[in-house]
Structure 1
């Protein structure tokens, strides 16, 4: 398990928040020497360590798990609920403050791509791609990312003949974003390669929720 990405990320977060390892130790209850070994890639961080770091550095647990090289879904299923979706703004903040991507990434870019796919999702070609290519893409990424279960649900609802056209259009935009790999953040930018997909899923989930509430 490669801890190098995690060490770089924690260093960036500590610098951004003007925290020392000693101060982080006081906040988390984790020995300073242990934190130092984790940050300098000499010790693997346990999920319990990452949970404390997430709590006190203001970063989604899923981001730290992925940076540490954990199978996110496996850890979530066994020990915890995902907090990837707690705040799009938090994810965006991590992307910028960690200096992995600079300030080039904008949430609005994901919104714009989703809008492009909404009408395509209702076309015969778009529906065919969703029906035929979704499972293959899921296999390709091997379940990486805590948003996978949400995507599977969206796929099922999209294919349901009773789902309204408006709802299918919204859901289809997220599915096509995922399938077609129109990534604002390239997948090779570890540990953030799938975060824009996760953000797209959250944006669509919020829109569907508002649509359902307005129709009640």
Structure 2
């Protein structure tokens, strides 16, 4: 993180607080971050951590991409509509930031996500697996505060999974993504926000593509499942 980036971040936070008519104490109440910590960050005496960025983004209504860029990371923001830019809309962008900032190093491989999903496919069709999906999904969504478009896609998958008309094959595939999201076996720890949900987002993308191809196959065979 560059010195200029840190200074830009502090200026941005002060500007957002003023624009939203929120005091540092109020932001502290909303985020659970100590007021003194917020003050140090806003006055460029402390670098923000990923958790701080997540909380600021959520409560100040600013995209993570904007905060990351202000923090000194090389993140490309949509010039036509920067306010609506969302890090979760570009997995490649997030992955690039992770690698360049040494959050992941060489430890993260997309193949690992494929392997974990494969483990959950059969479990999703068991009574225990279905019970966990029914009972624990909403709680996990609340924990992440609905962060990112991949959550909306997961909610759709959840409804499809619960639909009795859904084929076992599709339920198995969709269920694997839901269980990956629910269970604490993430390749990237969830607390490393927003990066902690990168693998969840990738898992959803993988599953969505598989289901799409499977539905195309069904249609070709005259099966509406």
TM-score (norm 1): 0.65
In the other structure, the counterpart of 1:163 is 166
| Structure 1 unaligned spans of 5+ | 1-7, 12-20, 22-32, 48-62
Contact 1:84 1:146 in 2 (8 A): yes
CA pair 115-92 structure 1, distance change in 2 beyond 3 A: same
SS of structure 2 residue aligned to 1:189: coil
Q: Which has the larger radius of gyration?
A: 2
In the other structure, the counterpart of 1:205 is 208
Contact 2:120 2:176 in 1 (8 A): yes
TM-score (norm 2): 0.63
- Quote how far apart the aligned CAs of 1:186 are: 0.5
Contact 2:86 2:148 in 1 (8 A): no
In the other structure, the counterpart of 1:71 is 58
| Structure 2 unaligned spans of 5+ | 17-49, 64-82, 220-225
* Residue-pair matches, total: 164
In the other structure, the counterpart of 2:185 is 182
Contact 1:170 1:208 in 2 (8 A): yes
CA–CA separation in structure 2 for the residues paired with 1:150 and 1:211: 17
1:40-59 equivalences under 5 Å are 41-44=9-12
SS of structure 2 residue aligned to 1:163: coil
Contact 1:150 1:201 in 2 (8 A): yes
CA pair 36-117 structure 1, distance change in 2 beyond 3 A: closer
- Quote how far apart the aligned CAs of 1:44 are: 1.6
In the other structure, the counterpart of 2:117 is 114
CA pair 214-89 structure 1, distance change in 2 beyond 3 A: farther
The CA deviation string for residues 129-149 of structure 1, in whole angstroms up to 9 with x for no partner, is: 101111111122222233111
CA–CA separation in structure 1 for the residues paired with 2:97 and 2:206: 17
CA–CA separation in structure 2 for the residues paired with 1:42 and 1:80: 21
RMSD of the TM alignment (CA)?
2.9
CA–CA separation in structure 2 for the residues paired with 1:83 and 1:214: 32
2:88 counterpart of 1:84: yes
